[in-house]
Amino acid sequence: MSKELVNAMKVLEAEKGIKPEIIKEALESALILAYKKNYDQAQNVEVVFNEETGDIKVFSVKEVVDINYDSTLEISLEEALKINRAYEIGDKIKFEVTPKDFGRIATQTAKHVVMQRIREAERDIIYDEFIVHQDEILTGTIERSDARNIYVNLGKVEAIMPASEQIPTEQFQMDERVKVYVVKVDKTSKGPQIVVSRSHADFLKRLFEQEVPEIYQGVVEIISIAREAGDRSKVAVYSRDSNIDPVGTCVGPRGSRVQSIVNELNGENMDIIQWDEDPAIFIKNAMNPAEVLKVVFDEENHSCVVVVPDYQLSLAIGKKGQNARLAARLTGYKIDIKSETSFAEYLLEQENKTVENELSPKDQSLNETPDPEDQSLQQDLTEASNAEGEDSTYKEEDVVDQIEE
């Protein structure tokens, strides 16, 4: 068994990358359990496995004490000094207690534990290999699918693409090669679980990094992405170099760069817009392809009203509100879109409300008891207007003078 195990360890290291140290540690732990179980021994024991020869030895470990109360765990200083004059209280002494038939028993008892450790080691290797690829794009093949998930073979492991991470319009054939974005890598009792996506916004970001060297190098930066996978996306980009047009760089010569991404996503429409630190300009750009006349902000609610020409209202809103929805996600603002006429009516309505609010205190004063002095002035006005042969204008002005005085 020992020589076979040594050879098996070499094969495991060569084929699966499992280091001999991992097998040795697992084997020694398993053999300790096997010894205690089969020989009904509970004392401190150590099992030493020689990686070169395959020999296995069992040692009972005892502590040197002044007075020995438990011979299975302790040895008196007097007895220890008979073995070696250098021993002191507190030292540990090993005594070999390897049974003659331990090889056979150990093989039967430890096999399951060793295999379990080997499986765990394999899982750890796979986890370590794929955790470094989290948030990156990998290429795999479609292996199978069910009502909820698509399973992608990434080589050493099968990844899961849940329905929420799929592009609704895509259909795949078995063994078809496909690019996927690694969303997360988790450790589970059954091994590493890898979740991949094609609908994630960062999948689109990584595709741009692959196609546009300026983005990968950091000269052009993707500020934000709003995506409805399989239908349409808006990507806001910014250039750190004033001499480089970020939008043109992403589009590429004759649209070659963005077209490669569109092809990978099976025709998903792509709006690339320029980010600006001025929110008004950024929102105007985000509303592309609609023309924006004015942006009115309500900073308290982090919202705004976007005014567009009457004939472009439906274009600004988009099919089923898609353009407005994506622009809002891209900019982070709540966006209310109004036509030019509708906005003018809105302003007039607000102005009328303001006037009504200003007049309301005066209207309320009509219901109050008139001031005696005001009644006297009103009476003078009435008398002046009724006087025969006299100039009413003059009299009114005269009364007005009195009011001013």
Q: Tens digit of pLDDT for each residue in 111-124? A: 777 777 778 888 88
Q: Token match 């089969």: residue?
A: 38
Q: Identify whether 120 is part of a domain.
A: yes
Average pLDDT over residues 191-217: 95
> Token digits for 64?
């040197």
Give the residue from 145, 164, 197 where a domain finishes: 197
Q: Per DSSP, what are the bridge partners of residue 194? A: 185
Average pLDDT over residues 318-346: 94
3-state secondary structure string across the chain: CHHHHHHHHHHHHHHHCCCHHHHHHHHHHHHHHHHHHHCCCCCCEEEEECCCCCCEEEEEEEEEECCCCCCCCEEEHHHHHHHCCCCCCCCEEEEECCCCCHHHHHHHHHHHHHHHHHHHHHHHHHHHHHHCCCCCEEEEEEEEECCCCEEEECCCCEEEECHHHCCCCCCCCCCCEEEEEEEEEEEECCEEEEEEECCCHHHHHHHHHHHCHHHHHCCEEEEEEEEECCCEEEEEEEECCCCCCHHHHHHCHHHHHHHHHHHHCCCCEEEEEECCCCHHHHHHHHCCCCCCCEEEEEHHHCEEEEEECHHHHHHHHCHHHHHHHHHHHHHCCEEEEEEHHHHHHHHHHHHHHHHHHHHHHHHHHCCCCCCHHHHHHHHHHHHHHHCCCCCHHHHHHHHHHHHHC
Query: In this model, does residue 367 exceed pLDDT 60?
Result: no
Give the residue from 197, 212, 236 where a domain finishes: 197
- Global model pTM greater than 0.75: no
Residue bearing the bigger pLDDT, 338 or 6: 338
Range of the domain at 61: 2-129
**How much is the pLDDT for 395?**
38
Residue bearing the bigger pLDDT, 220 or 55: 220
**How much is the pLDDT for 372?**
52
| pLDDT, tens digit (0-9, with 9 covering 90-100), for 301-320 | 999 999 999 999 999 999 99
Query: Are residues 165 and 78 part of one domain?
Result: no
Query: Are residues 184 and 87 part of one domain?
Result: no
Query: In this model, does residue 154 exceed pLDDT 90?
Result: yes
Average pLDDT over residues 52-64: 84
Query: Are residues 171 and 185 part of one domain?
Result: yes
Query: In this model, does residue 297 exceed pLDDT 70?
Result: yes
Average pLDDT over residues 221-229: 96
**How much is the pLDDT for 2?**
61
CATH code of the domain containing 350: 3.30.300.20
Q: Identify whether 177 is part of a domain.
A: yes
Name the domain count of the chain: 4
Q: Identify whether 87 is part of a domain.
A: yes
**How much is the pLDDT for 360?**
61
**How much is the pLDDT for 108?**
72
The fraction of the chain above a pLDDT of 90, given in percent, is: 51
Average pLDDT over residues 81-105: 86
Query: Are residues 394 and 300 part of one domain?
Result: no
The fraction of the chain above a pLDDT of 70, given in percent, is: 85
> What is the rounded average pLDDT for all residues in the chain?
84
Q: Identify whether 185 is part of a domain.
A: yes
Query: Are residues 163 and 44 part of one domain?
Result: no
Q: Identify whether 270 is part of a domain.
A: no
Q: Give the confidence band of 208 by pLDDT, cuts at 50, 70, 90.
A: very high
Q: Identify whether 46 is part of a domain.
A: yes
Q: Give the confidence band of 385 by pLDDT, cuts at 50, 70, 90.
A: very low
Q: Identify whether 234 is part of a domain.
A: no
Average pLDDT over residues 47-60: 82
Query: Are residues 157 and 115 part of one domain?
Result: no
Average pLDDT over residues 36-43: 75
Query: Are residues 378 and 364 part of one domain?
Result: no
Query: In this model, does residue 72 exceed pLDDT 50?
Result: yes
State the Cα–Cα distance between residues 104 and 97, nearest whole angstrom: 16
Q: Identify whether 100 is part of a domain.
A: yes
Q: Give the confidence band of 376 by pLDDT, cuts at 50, 70, 90.
A: low
Query: In this model, does residue 254 exceed pLDDT 60?
Result: yes
Q: Give the confidence band of 136 by pLDDT, cuts at 50, 70, 90.
A: very high
Q: Give the confidence band of 7 by pLDDT, cuts at 50, 70, 90.
A: confident
Average pLDDT over residues 90-103: 85
Residue bearing the bigger pLDDT, 103 or 170: 170
| pLDDT, tens digit (0-9, with 9 covering 90-100), for 344-360 | 988 888 777 777 676 66
Average pLDDT over residues 89-105: 84
* Sign of the dihedral defined by the CA atoms of residues 342, 346, 347, 349, in that order: positive
Query: In this model, does residue 342 exceed pLDDT 80?
Result: yes
Query: In this model, does residue 399 exceed pLDDT 50?
Result: no
